[in-house]
């Protein structure tokens, strides 16, 4: 995990919650399910970059929970869970219900996190793109 920019406002609070959350696969799975539902509720054209990156984060977390993919650091799992948690929470720095601005802070948090874990995300995407046969893993999608 690389360290370049300062974290967005209040992100450390979400990181602390995520540290606890990743200790419980059931709770982490509930979070990924809630994030998947919230992503599907977003309009198709709204926040497409946010949707793409969160979909990858959710897929990685699901693969980690299931044990299919473990080639990721624990710090990356925590910060991805923190970003997903931030997205799911309706009352973050800019509440999601404020039309036109509600996802600006979510985009900033996801961009910050992806900037920190870009290499591990890239490795996961390569793993996920590998051909699958019946004797190998099932592809985990977000």
pLDDT tens per residue, range 107-116: 777 888 888 8
Instruction: Calculate the average pLDDT of the chain.
Output: 81
Strand spans (E) along 36-129: none
Question: Under a CB-based contact definition with an 8 Å cutoff, are residues 110 and 50 in contact?
Answer: yes
In the chain, % of residues over pLDDT 90: 46
Please report the pLDDT score of residue 100 as a whole number. 52
Min mean pLDDT across 10-14, 43-47, 83-87 is at: 43-47
Q: Could you report the per-residue pLDDT of 57-66, keeping only the tens digit for each?
A: 999 999 999 9
Q: Exposure pattern of 70-81 as b/e (b: 16+ CB <10 Å)?
A: eebeeebbbbbb
Please report the pLDDT score of residue 93 as a whole number. 47
Predicted structure pTM score? 0.79
């Amino acid at each position: 995990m690389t360290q370049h920019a300062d974290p967005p406002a209040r992100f450390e609070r979400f990181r602390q919650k995520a540290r606890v959350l990743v200790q419980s696969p059931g709770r982490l799975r509930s979070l990924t399910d809630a994030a998947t539902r919230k992503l599907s509720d977003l309009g198709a054209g709204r926040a497409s970059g946010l949707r793409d990156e969160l979909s990858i984060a959710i897929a990685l977390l699901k693969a980690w929970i299931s044990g299919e993919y473990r080639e990721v650091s624990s710090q990356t799992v925590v910060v991805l869970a923190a970003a997903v948690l931030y997205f799911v929470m309706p009352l973050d720095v800019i509440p999601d219900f404020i039309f036109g601005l509600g996802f600006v802070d979510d985009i900033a948090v996801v961009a910050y996190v992806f900037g920190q874990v870009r290499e591990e995300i890239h490795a996961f995407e390569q793993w996920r793109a590998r051909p699958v046969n019946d004797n190998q893993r099932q592809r985990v999608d977000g």
